[in-house]
Amino acid sequence: MTSSARYIAAACAALLAIAAPQAVRAQNFSPVQRGEIERVVHDYLIAHPETIEEAMAELEKRQTAAEAEKHKVAVKEHAQKLYSSPNQVTLGNPNGNVTFVEFFDYNCGYCKRAMEDMLTLLKDDPNLKVVLKEFPVLGPGSLEAARVAVAVRMQDKTGKKYLEFHTKLLGGRGAADEAHALAVAKDVGLNMTQLAKDMKSPEVKATLDEDFKLAEALGLNGTPSYVIGSDVVVGAIGLPGLQEKVNTARCGKPTC
């Protein structure tokens, strides 16, 4: 099948999915009838090629809306673990009127660039609660670094040392792994004996298991990913985009 034929076939499917009444879609057609319907649709699309673009755009619009609704349901269902888990890192205003949740990986280049966006929001918005979730999806080194990070969080209940650790490790050069993460932890003044003990704690595995299950429930497939209000955002969208999401969660529009 040529690329143009595949495109037409996809367009036919889109048109039928959008336009065909439920009763017609449920009808069992014979092979001859189905072939005739496909011929009519094919001929129509050739005569009116602009319909292909319109149909595909409408299908994408409906799929996006359905995905957004699915995300809202998942966020509501998992709200407690998303916003108030005892295993999470909480920064900013713990009673803020908007919660900004970020799933990240210490070896994610996009996360490194997006870190400044998060820090800017944290600094400029006194009513923002920031929650950080470990999502080490980029290999063994990421998982090792995440284990150290969880132990850092266990030792530092205020989040101040954790944030210093987080920014140095995520903002540093080279691949993140256990050795690199331990070096950063030592550099920011953590108790390394306690850290080694905490890394063996069941709480480390429980934290990472919880974060992975949350990511799966929300349909996250990359980093950074965010939950802001009821919106789920996959990928780095830049500071203006994140600010708009925060504003929408706060006042229902991109600019408050």
| Alpha-helical runs (H) found in 96-191 | 109-124, 140-155, 160-171, 178-187
Residues 131 and 49 in one domain: no
Q: How many CB atoms lie within 10 A of CB 73?
A: 10
The tokens describing 22, both together, are 């439920």
pLDDT in tens, 27-80: 577 888 778 878 887 887 788 788 777 777 776 777 666 666 676 788 889 999
Please report where in the chains the tokens 């009763």 appear, as a residue: 23
Domain boundary among 64, 91, 114: 64
Residues 108 and 234 in one domain: yes
Domains held by the chain: number: 2
72 occurs within a structural domain: no
Which secondary-structure segment (H or E) carries 138? Answer: none
| Beta-carbon contacts of residue 86 (< 8 Å; ≥ 6 apart) | none
Residues 212 and 85 in one domain: yes
69 occurs within a structural domain: no
Residues 51 and 90 in one domain: no
133 touches 85 (CB < 8 A): no
pLDDT in tens, 15-24: 555 444 443 4
Residues 44 and 99 in one domain: no
User: What strands, in cross-sheet order, belong to the sheet with 128-134?
Assistant: 89-92, 128-134, 98-104, 225-228, 231-234
Residues 139 and 40 in one domain: no
pLDDT in tens, 86-123: 999 999 999 999 999 999 999 999 999 999 999 999 99
Residues 49 and 113 in one domain: no
**Rounded Cα gap, residues 208 and 131, in angstroms:** 14
Residues 57 and 84 in one domain: no
- Per DSSP, what are the bridge partners of residue 128? 98
Residues 96 and 141 in one domain: yes
Residue 202 has pLDDT above 60, yes or no: yes
This prediction has a pTM of 0.75
CA neighbor of 124 nearest in space, from 3, 243, 41, 250: 243
Q: What is the largest CA-CA distance in the chain?
A: 77
